[in-house]
Amino acid sequence: MNFRKLVLACALSLSAAVSVAEETPFIGASNPSISSLYAATTAEVILTFLSKQAFFSTDVSVLGSPTALFNNQTAVAGTTYSLGSFQKGAEIVFSFFVNNTGDTFLSGAANNNADKTAHTAYQQEGNSVLVGFEDIVLGGDKDYNDVVLSVSNASILPILEIPEPEIVSMLATGLILLGFSSRKKS
């Protein structure tokens, strides 16, 4: 490596370090895979677009809705959108369409996505939940700040692990045996 190449390499690594330092990861980014978003009551749910630190253009919609609520590059921070009302405890799932790559990712469990990766992280803030979205397949840089929004009247609850079929059948067998032995005693 000659001197010019060395200088170039240093400059590149420095600029990479600077751009990383400029990025502010979403507050809940340290633990993105354990939560989803649920309606806390039947009251109206309001979404507020807060920020984006992304080059990619992403359309955000509620899963099942034919029209997007907003685009992360064109929406004005602070704009609110009514999501209507949900049953108490109903999961609220967002769909994120990344125009640059053609990828669609869903909020919530990793299994919701083709890459088996959670693309949203959450942070409970009083009666609202902050939601941060990661726009790159397999989690990319995992900063979850490509779309940051707030959802009112919402709560985060752990996603229950779905037991393996073998464990279910073992549990069922155990319960049957328990029932059998308790019946014999009485």
Which residues lie near Ca ion (CB under 5 A)? 134, 140-141, 143, 146
Nearest to 134 by CA among 169, 106, 167: 106
Q: How far is the CB of 93 from Ca ion (least distance, A)?
A: 20
User: Measured from the CB atom, is 103 or 146 closer to Ca ion?
Assistant: 146
Q: How far is the CB of 141 from Ca ion (least distance, A)?
A: 5
User: Measured from the CB atom, is 6 or 77 closer to Ca ion?
Assistant: 77
Give me the phi and psi of 128, to 5 degrees please: -110, 165
User: Measured from the CB atom, is 91 or 141 closer to Ca ion?
Assistant: 141
User: Measured from the CB atom, is 103 or 143 closer to Ca ion?
Assistant: 143
* Contacts (Cβ under 8 Å, ≥6 apart) of 78: 48, 49, 50
3-class SS of residue 74: coil
Q: Which amino acid is at 64?
A: G
User: Measured from the CB atom, is 59 or 146 closer to Ca ion?
Assistant: 146
Other Cβ atoms within 10 Å of 47 Cβ, number: 23
Q: How far is the CB of 132 from Ca ion (least distance, A)?
A: 9
Q: How far is the CB of 59 from Ca ion (least distance, A)?
A: 16
In sequence order, what E strands does 79-136 have? 80-82, 94-98, 103-106, 120-125, 128-133
Q: How far is the CB of 123 from Ca ion (least distance, A)?
A: 16
- In order of 20, 62, 70, 99, the CA distances from 58 in angstroms are 21, 13, 8, 6
**Nearest-angstrom CA–CA distance, 46 and 108:** 18
